[in-house]
Amino acid sequence: MKELATTPPGHDVILFDGHCRLCLGAAKQFERLLGGGGSELRSFREEGVLAAFPGISLERCEQKMQLVQADGRVFEGAEAVVRALGRGRLGRLLYVYYVPGLRQVADWLYGLIARHRFRIAGKTCTDGTCSIHLKRGKP
């Protein structure tokens, strides 16, 4: 699989869905766990956010959280969580994710939760996009 890359931001940027209550809660937990560790959390739904990261599509963001590392490398989903939090207090403990078999389970579970996040935690959309996702059965 080809590694995804974009414009290097000079610091880590975590792109999450600001219309999702589950994602907003997770973002608050990230802030607490990272303790100002040089990562910026941004909702990809904010105007102009995705324009700063060519190659990262709205569709990718709707499916999985994106971690844009300082050098422009992009990681998605469960791996993005592991890499982002792996720099904080949890450190290398999270790298158990790379144990064969565990990664596949973590990716599957992440995908399942991401697809149903609006049903799990409710929606916060005001522009109608949540109802579109709920009708399609997509995130």
Three-state helix/strand/coil letters over 41-63: EEECCCCCCHHHCCCCCHHHHHH
Can you give the residue range of the structural domain that contains 27? 4-136
Amino acid (1-letter code) at residue 132: I
* 20 within 8 A of 124, measured Cβ to Cβ: yes
Query: What are the tens digits of pLDDT across the range 96-128?
Result: 999 999 999 999 999 999 999 888 876 655 555
Q: Give the mean pLDDT of 27-54.
A: 90
Worst-scoring range by mean pLDDT, 79-83, 90-94, 101-105, 122-126?
Answer: 122-126
- When divided into structural domains, the chain yields a total of 1
- Is pLDDT larger for residue 67 or for residue 93? 67
Burial degree of 125 (CB within 10 A; 0-12, 13-18, 19+): middle
pLDDT > 90? residue 57: yes
- The share of the chain scoring above pLDDT 70, in percent, equals 82
**Distance from CA of residue 25 to its chain's centroid?**
12
State whether the Cα torsion 36-40-41-47 is positive or negative. positive
- The share of the chain scoring above pLDDT 90, in percent, equals 61
